[in-house]
Amino acid sequence: MARRCQLTGKRRNVANKVSHANNKVKTVQQPNLRTKRLWVESQKRYVRVRLSARALRTVTRTGLEPFLRANKLSLADIA
């Protein structure tokens, strides 16, 4: 499974670690992903999603269905 947020699409970032001597080494910064069960009121069931910590805070505040409507997504896109 790819390390990617199912709601926001956030994924890994490749960057250079630069030493004091200006040596550059490639590093990978992974997103902070969490697996969470979210309640879907319209379907009266839980949905298991893998989302970033930032998206989890937003979904907790607004709710899953308003978040999906605002970003023009559906439950079929995340399942």
Given a cut of 80, whether residue 14 has pLDDT beyond it is yes
Question: What is the pTM (predicted TM-score) of this model?
Answer: 0.77
Tens digit of each residue's pLDDT (9 = 90 or more) over 39-68: 988 889 999 999 999 999 999 999 889 888
CATH topology classification for 13-71: Ribosomal Protein L24e; Chain: T; (2.30.170)
Report which of 10, 19, 75 is spatially closest to residue 47, judged by C-alpha positions: 75
Max Cα–Cα distance, the chain, nearest Å: 58
Q: Name residue 41's amino acid.
A: E
What is the residue-averaged pLDDT of the chain? 91
